[in-house]
Amino acid sequence: MKDIRALHQLALERPLTDLCIFLTSYCNLACKMCSYWKEREHGVSYDMVLSLLGEARSLGATRFHPFGTEIFTREETCITLYLSAEL
Ligand code: SF4
């Protein structure tokens, strides 16, 4: 098994291919087995989302994975997805 420093170095040398950003914990449902909908918080700011998309693009990322609860409860989601198509 490789030591932790070697694994860390391997991770740093691996090219960036994907960007994942948590967009929101808002949800328009309230499923009994879930508690995320109670948090009602958005993830990073829209400016930060744009900055991360730009950085990821310049580092070679080609895929964007938005995640969270119901991401379309965040009003910037559509424009974020539109801009992420440039990855
Ligand atoms: S996040 Fe998913 S599981 Fe939770 S309340 Fe919303 S739809 Fe239900």
How close is the Cα of 74 to the center of ligand 1, in Å? 15
Counting residues of the chain whose pLDDT is more than 90, the rounded percentage is 78
Counting residues of the chain whose pLDDT is more than 70, the rounded percentage is 98
Q: What is the DSSP letter of 63?
A: E
Ligand 1 atom nearest the C-alpha of 34 is: 4
| Mean pLDDT value across residues 66-79 | 95
Q: How high is the mean pLDDT of the chain?
A: 93
| Mean pLDDT value across residues 15-20 | 94
Upper half-sphere CA count for residue 67 (Cβ side, 13 Å): 9
Q: 75 versus 10: which is more confidently predicted?
A: 75
The model's pLDDT over 20-49, given as tens digits with 9 standing for 90+, comes to 999 999 999 999 999 998 999 999 999 999
Residue pair 26/70 in contact (Cβ under 8 Å)? The answer is yes
Nearest CA to ligand 1 atom 4: 34
Whether the CB of 35 sits within 6 Å of ligand 1:
no
